[in-house]
Amino acid sequence: MSPRRAEEISGIFDDMLVHARELLAVRSPLDAELIVSEILGAWYGGRSGQGDLEKVVGEALLDHAIRSATPAALALLSGVANLGTPRQAPKAERGALRLMGMGVARPTWADRMGLVAPAAAYLSRDVYGDQKTVICTFTYGGEEEHALVVLVDENMGGRFDAPADNGLVRDAWVSSQVERLLDHCRAEARSSPLMEFTEIDPREARALLEPALELTGSLRDAPVSDSFASYNALLRARVKVLPLGGFKPPLPRWSADRRATIGARFLASEEAGELSDLAAAGRCVDRIIDYGCARDFGRPLRVSPIKCEMFLLDWLPRKVFLSPSEQEAMPHVLAAWVRWAARRTNLPDEGVRATLDAVWDATHKFGEAYRDPAASGLDRALVEKLLPDGDLEALPRRAFALPFLTGELAGLDPADAADRRVMLAYEHPGATEAELDGYERLADRLWKGDPPELWETTQRLLDEGGQRHLVVHGLMRLVVRFDRDRPGLRRALRKIRAEDL
């Protein structure tokens, strides 16, 4: 690091220690924790070449505080010892003990931070299952009761294709007006048939919040509120205070036969009776069920305004190749599915009406959002060959892997291994059998998108000016070399550059 850069960072840390002087003026451990959590959240979600800035820079801040040896530095270290990451907390505690040994005065609230204990937990949620609010109350040794409020969104995990069985934490905040908060939640549930409010075991609260926090922390650009970073450290520390042992039910299992059965029951229902094209309706309902199973935690029967909008305007346009008849039928099939599923799940009439309104409001936008590749000049028969599974995201990488599908090769099927070999031999005349084996392995991986880094690297090499035939040959060598070493292939893909080809 250059001396100038080091001086700039030191200046930032000095400013943060000035902020930490506020800790010397507060008496409440809660006020102190909120200040420390805000300081630790300054780099939330940031990344650098060395890794997570929240960890890397946060630990450097602790070193700076220890060297400062001021009462504000000791106050900050005392707070981080309670709220910091598993690496930060012990380091802060050692630094605090060192400063105390030097005679630096410790704030009066520091000892009381360790007395925090859970008191009760509550769950407020909508009947759709779109989001839930977990409210956990705590005290410091029976005093200063306060509530931690956490908003969990159960739609956004699917938006990020997250392999998780819980929602995503979108927001969190703290309230010292506990009874007023609980009274508001109870009143809301009494006045609206679309809201529920219950007390839950604190162990259940932890079982709900831990995986949701893990998912949020795993996303590079998690869609959290602007104020979430300030509460992140406090939230994580409070969740660890909650008792273990809560039960989290496993995801429902949806076999192919079970999916087919529920689809057939829908098509035979009164709600589906007015659908004119039952063949297209069957394919559409398969997509609806697939979305509910794969992206809504195994809940295809759950319907809501937000879920239907995300399905029509986000997931389908990104993920699925629809025929013209399916494009026309999809909103009508979805509306019939809403009525049928709502009857089976006892969704209140108000919820059914709101969901249907959302479907019809999104129908026009769906026509604009869904971009049919054939509308861009691509031959529909060719697109259908490349997308026998309807995986729209696979189109560019498969077209790159097997570009020769016209003329004398027009009758071949790229999904068939033997036909694929013929296409590759046509593209690489004079290639040996061993080389063709390598090209076939590359084409197969690109077809499946395995690993995802392969297509990402392909696009990067092309953007860097790499010629297609050189990119294909270079990637083929890597795929052959690391055929049975998936981690090694991923590392090699990250390192390769266009000038290496």
Confidence of residue 215 (pLDDT cuts 50, 70, 90): confident
Higher pLDDT, 53 or 259: 259
The pair of three-digit structure tokens given for residue 372, joined into one six-digit string: 């049919």
pLDDT tens digits, one per residue of 98-127: 999 999 988 989 989 889 999 999 999 999
* Section 79-91 average pLDDT: 90
pLDDT of residue 50: 40
CA dist., res. 333 & res. 328, Å (int)? 10
pLDDT for the residue numbered 1: 41
Which residues 6+ apart lie within 8 Å of 41 measured at CB?
Answer: 54, 228, 229, 230, 231, 232, 233
Rounded Cα distance between 435 and 32, Å, is 66
Q: Determine the pLDDT at residue 318.
A: 85
E strands, 50-177, in order = 51-52, 116-126, 131-140, 143-153, 168-175
Query: Tell me: the pLDDT tens digits for 345-379?
Result: 999 999 999 999 999 999 989 988 888 777 766 78
Q: How confident is the model at residue 500 (pLDDT cuts 50, 70, 90)?
A: confident
* Run of H or E including 454: helix 452-463
Predicted pLDDT at 325? 92
Position 381 pLDDT exceeds 50 = yes
* The pLDDT of residue 246: 83
The kind and range of the H/E element at 65 are helix 53-68
Q: Give per-residue pLDDT as tens, 396-413.
A: 999 899 888 777 788 899
User: Token match 């990250």: residue?
Assistant: 494
| pLDDT exceeds cutoff 80 at 471 | yes
| Residue 51 pLDDT grade (very low, low, confident, very high; cuts 50, 70, 90) | very low
For residue 8, pLDDT beyond 70: no
Question: Exposed/middle/buried for 452, CB within 10 Å: 0-12, 13-18, 19+?
Answer: exposed
Calculate the dihedral angle through the C-alpha atoms of 454, 456, 457, 461, rounding to the nearest 10 degrees: 140
Query: At residue 38, what is the residue type?
Result: E
Q: Which residues contact 118 (CB under 8 A, 6 or more apart)?
A: 136, 137, 138, 202, 241, 242, 243
3-state secondary structure of 239: helix
Q: Considering only residues 382 and 117, tell me which one the structure prediction assigns the higher pLDDT.
A: 117
What's the distance, Cα to Cα, between the start and end of the chain in Å? 32
Write out pLDDT tens, residues 135-175: 999 999 999 999 999 999 988 765 665 544 568 999 999 99
Structure-token pair, residue 364: 């026009």
User: What is the C-alpha to C-alpha distance for residues 106 and 111, in angstroms, rounded to an integer?
Assistant: 9
- Domain boundaries in the chain? 3-113, 116-241, 257-371, 391-500
At residue 419, does pLDDT exceed 50?
A: yes
**Helix H segments across 69-174?**
71-83, 88-101, 110-113, 156-159
- Check residue 175 and give its pLDDT: 96
| pLDDT tier for residue 48 given thresholds of 50, 70 and 90 | very low
Closest listed residue to residue 229, CA positions, set 17, 81, 20, 42 = 42
In this predicted structure, the answer to whether residue 186 has a pLDDT above a threshold of 70 is yes
- Tell me the pLDDT of the chain averaged across its residues: 89
Cα distances (angstroms) measured from residue 232 to each of 61, 148, 235, 380: 18, 11, 5, 49
Alpha carbon separation from 233 to 55, 89, 96, 226, 237 (Å, rounded):
12, 11, 19, 15, 6
pTM, entire model? 0.78
Least confident of 16-20, 297-301, 384-388, 478-482: 16-20
The gap from C-alpha 419 to its chain's centroid, in whole angstroms, comes to 38
d(CA 300, CA 282): 15
User: Given this model, what pLDDT does residue 232 score?
Assistant: 93
Collapsing DSSP to helix, strand or coil, 282 comes out as helix
Residues 6+ apart with CB under 8 A from 222: 45, 168, 216
Judged by DSSP in three states, 161 sits in coil
- Cα angle 411, 414, 420 (rounded to 5 degrees) comes to 100
Q: How confident is the model over 230-282, as pLDDT tens digits?
A: 999 999 999 999 999 887 777 778 899 999 999 999 999 999 998 999 999 99
